Structure 1
Amino acid sequence: MSVEEVVGYAPLVLGAGLALIALWAVLWIVRYALADTMMRASIRQAVRVRRTWKRLAPMAGLSVTDKTPTALASLSATDGKAPKPRVLIPALKVKPDRFGVVVRANCLPKVSLEEFQKAAPYLADAWRCERVSVLPDGPGQVIIRGVRVDPLITRTEHVPTGAVPEKAATWDLGVDEYAQPVTVDLSQVPGVTVAGLPGFGKTSLINRLVCDWAPSTAIQFVGFDGKVSKAHEGDYADLVKRMYAFVGDDLEDAHKLFNRLVDLRRARSSSIRSVLGVKSMWDVGPSAAWPLVVAIIDEAHTYFREYKGNDPETKKLARLAAENARLVEDLVKKGRSVGVLVILATQKSTGDAIPTFIRDVCPVGLSFAQKTAEAAVAALGEDIRNWDDANPINLQDPAYVGVASMSHQSRPGFARIRTPYVSDADAARIAADTAHLAHDPMDLLIAHTGLSLSKVDDLSDLFGEEPEAA
């Protein structure tokens, strides 16, 4: 191709380049125009991060000097002078979201994860962020999360879609202090404790779990609410339709229902190999015929409290409370492998509210605001004393209604989580739409095995000797 032909194509190449730039500008403007106020602020923040990075990085100690010249620099050197050293700066990819920016950067020699973490306070000031976190993002990469607006004090609302969850037993809790989604895998988990002062979000947290899981035929719910007497009262009045059984604060009624659950646990333990062909239900996952049974025990202290007195009524209540504790202990210690999950909610999970032989077997614990260090330690363990920022005694401000602390799943320490609000109307809608899915798991087991448990006094006569819990 001649020089004249090359020159002739130049206007076309230039025009195509200008057209691409114009298209990019139009798309950027449209995206900005369609964004809400928070997203627009984050887009402007992302532009500022990119524009100022080359100047900010050396000042924050995030650059390195390369004294070895490139081959091209060596060839272009004149008068025998050595080429000037190059200053290398990590490359950035910046993505805005409603709370701030997510920045991915590559590491350099002497500019690695540790250097980025030390520079986090300087980056927060320069980028005008509430806080900045730096975590590894694969070999030679880091991910920097900067939040312009504190997610913990930004109220959020969750509108359940009514769609079947993609993965069974995955609990979407909300977002952490860096606006990153927090999920907990409850498969293979025997129990969960939820503590916190009244009105700080315990019930809404459980409401979301029920609403998100309700569309699944592989999950069944049973409810205990120690602060009401009837099913139509209290916080779970709308969700009762999706539960196959429910009791209020009557200890005798609760005792009967706990016994039913233990009978189910025993029947499942005895039949799991013959029905599912495995030792643990989680080897095959829950199904419509063998669903995960979620027992929600709210105001759990109602069912376990110690009664002291010599009159017949007090003695009866004391016996029922002790029996209830024994039965729930059975469910928590032996129910995991057969698909029983117990969620216990109370104001403070000290030993007088949830017996320690139950509480200490539950591997997942959350706590909303607490008034005392004793209650915080009971809910989250002794280590919470070393993490003052995440201690639930610091969550008593009304701005933190809906914020819980829990042990961090991916790194040492504790995380604070903003849990969203679920409206009563949405809960009622989901419960009404999924009410037909509520079935007693014992009936399902009987139907699946073709046998009648009601005619058998001893479950071992039907299924053989009960194996020890896995």
Structure 2
Amino acid sequence: MGTVTEHAPDVVLVAALLLGAWLLLTAVRYVRADPSTRVSMRQAVRVRWGWVRLARMAGLTVTDKTPGLLAQITAQKGTAPPPRVLTPKIKVKPDQFGVVVRATCLPKVGLEEYQKAARFLADAWRCTRVSVLPDGPGKVVIRGVRLDPLTTSTEHRPTGRPLAEVARWDLGVDEYAAPVFVSLANVPGVTVAGTPGAGKTSVVNRLVCDFAPSAAVQFAGVDGKVSWASEGDYADLAKRMFAFSGDDLDEANALFKRLVELRKLRSSTIREVLGVKNMWHVGPSPHWPLTILIIDEAHTFFREYKGNDAETKRLAALTAENARLVEDLVKKGRSVGMLVLLISQKTTGDAIPTFIRDVCPVGLSFAQKTAEAAVAALGDDIRNWPDASPVTLQDPAYVGVTVMAMQGRPGFTRIRTPYVADADAARIAEATAHLTIDPSLYLDAYLASTGRALPAGREAEPADPPVHLAKRP
């Protein structure tokens, strides 16, 4: 007892120092946080302090009638210990939009009970909405957003550094401020629809800016809104594209043919060069890059021309061939690392042929004016989820919000995509322009080194980059 009394001041001093350090650290975090996060930090304190009382009122507690050992020892003789009311333990973390609460489950208080109580938690925590998802065995994660992420504009500033995972597309955050990523591995095509000014160009800008620092990705562009690469939305990004065409149907057709030839060459040499049937088994590399074709205002190149004069018939034949060529890329390019990104205001059958559109497994839709356009972009199932329909996104506050079906999630997810400034896009394109190269040059050099004939119309140039393509085991 004397020893305990002797060291008591030291214990109190250590405890006081630890408490002071914790308070200082909390104060520093609070001062350095942005105004929205500070509000969330105060909200997190209220959530912690009021949890026990709120859990009882919301029916998230359980009564344990079996007394514990301590209760049995301290109970008066002849009396039964009172039952215990058990409350789930929680951990609260604030962020810019609200709080993330991780809670444990109890007997008769599981995922379903938390989900039923979500609307009560939203009211008590003053949140716009609350979601409850499983967080491992016996745990749930409760996401409460105080600010609506869908109406809160965000901006993305590209770092200029290569991504850790080449084909991981960071789209933004969902309506609960959770990050949304889409894997483009083994994806042959992506469709992006939406009214003018709804955010289509910005989402493509981010994709290009994030992927551009990697030599394992190459881009080609076709834009139906402009005549020259120096015009329009892709004027800054054109430096990072090995090929670009405007609205001239003949030029676009030539580019499509060029990429189909690349697809055929890759298909015929992939086993020999990579040692696999599917490029994604080894992943893209600088010598076999993921090749992304961006077709903006896609309807320009697929529209049906009707008329009997010679020029109209020629254009009709040209757009029909364009559709056939792009169909080839979408249906046969997946395993050899080719991806087609089709962008149009509406992805109805008259804008993008259904034999192309319906093969694209990833579809995004920004604001739409009609239910028919929403169905064309997202499929008929969107009719069963009216709250998520892009028709509801016509308010200016929803510029930059897109809708898509996510694997592993029921229904459709609304996503806030960030704005990418033109200056940042120009900066990234300028800094990564030296990585731009026609992917076919590597295979041409490889064929020339093996003494095999090159595709018709092409000859190996002395300036071709050195290639070290050895068959992989």
Percent identity at matched positions? Answer: 69
Q: Answer whether contact 1:214 1:434 (CA < 8 A) is retained.
A: yes
1:223: how far off? 0.1
For 1:192 and 1:456, the matched residues in 2 are separated by: 29
Separation (CA, whole Å) in 2 of partners of 1:453 and 1:114: 65
Look up the SS of the partner of 1:322 in the other structure: helix
Task: Give the one of 42, 45, 58 matched to 1:44.
Answer: 42
Range 22-31 or range 223-232, more displaced: 22-31
Could you tell me which residue of structure 2 aligns to residue 69 of structure 1? 67
Q: Distance in 2 between matches of 1:35 and 1:432?
A: 33
* 2:292 counterpart of 1:307: no
1:98 maps to what in 2? 96
What letter matches 1:177 in structure 2?
A: E
Give matches, 1:316-465, under 5 Å.
316-450=314-448, 455-457=454-456
Contact 1:172 1:183 in 2 (8 A): yes
Q: Residue 142 of structure 2 aligns to a residue in which SS?
A: strand
1:293 maps onto 2:288 in alignment: no
Amino acid at match of 2:260: V
Separation in 2, partners of 1:329, 1:135:
39
Matches of 1:180 and 1:99, distance apart in 2:
10
Q: How many Å separate the matches in 2 of 1:424 and 1:453?
A: 44
What is the CA distance between 1:21 and its match in structure 2? 1.1
Match of 2:28 in 1: 30
Query: For the Cα contact (< 8 Å) 2:388–2:414, is it kept in 1?
Result: yes
Q: Could you tell me how far 1:458 is from its partner in structure 2?
A: 11
1:327-373 Cα distance to aligned partner (Å, 9 max, x none) = 00000000000000000000010000010000000000000000000
CA distance in 1, matches of 2:168, 2:337: 14
- Residues 1:284 and 2:291 are matched in the alignment: no
2:87 to 86, 89, 108: 89
Tell me how far apart the structure 2 counterparts of residues 458 and 38 of structure 1 sit (CA, whole Å): 60
Aligned-partner Cα distance in 1 for 2:457–2:365: 41
CA drift at 1:296? 0.3
Question: RMSD over aligned Cα, in angstroms?
Answer: 1.3
- Give how far 1:5 is off: 2.1
Contact 2:188/2:338, CA 8 A, preserved across alignment? yes
Whether contact under 8 Å (1:446, 1:453) holds in the other structure is no
1:208 to 206, 218, 225: 206
Contact 1:227–1:234 (Cα < 8 Å) also in 2: yes
Give the secondary structure class of the aligned counterpart of 2:335: helix
Question: 1:413-463: CA deviations, max 9, x gaps?
Answer: 11100000001100001111111111011112112333588754499xxxx
Q: What SS does the corresponding residue of 1:56 show, helix, strand or coil?
A: helix
**SS in structure 2 of the partner of residue 123 of structure 1:** helix
Matched residue SS, 2:192: strand
Where does structure 2 lack aligned partners over 5 or more consecutive residues?
Answer: 459-473
Structure 1, unaligned runs of 5 or more: 460-470
- Contact 1:128–1:148 at 8 Å: present in 2 too? yes
**Most deviating of 204-213 and 408-417:** 408-417
SS of residue matched to 1:344: strand
Is the 8 Å Cα contact of residues 64 and 110 (structure 1) preserved in structure 2?
Answer: yes
Looking at structure 2, the residues matched to 455 and 182 of structure 1 have their Cα atoms a distance apart, in angstroms, of 43
Deviation track 1:127-159 (CA, whole Å, cap 9, x = no partner) reads: 000000000000000000000000101111100
Once residues 280 and 95 of structure 1 are traced to their aligned partners in structure 2, the CA distance between those partners, rounded to angstroms, is 42
In structure 2, distance between residues paired with 1:20 and 1:412: 46
2:78 maps to what in 1? Answer: 80
In 1, Cα distance between equivalents of 2:272 and 2:368? 47
Q: Which stretches of structure 1, 4 residues or more, deviate above 6 A after TM superposition?
A: none
Q: How far does residue 75 in structure 1 lie from its aligned partner after superposition?
A: 1.5
Given that 1:124 and 1:146 are in contact with CA atoms closer than 8 Å, whether structure 2 keeps it comes out as yes
State the alpha-carbon separation in 1 of the partners of residues 69 and 446 from structure 2: 75
Which residue does the alignment assign to 2:463?
A: none
Q: Partner amino acid for 2:390?
A: P
Please report the TM-score for the alignment, with normalisation by the length of structure 1: 0.96
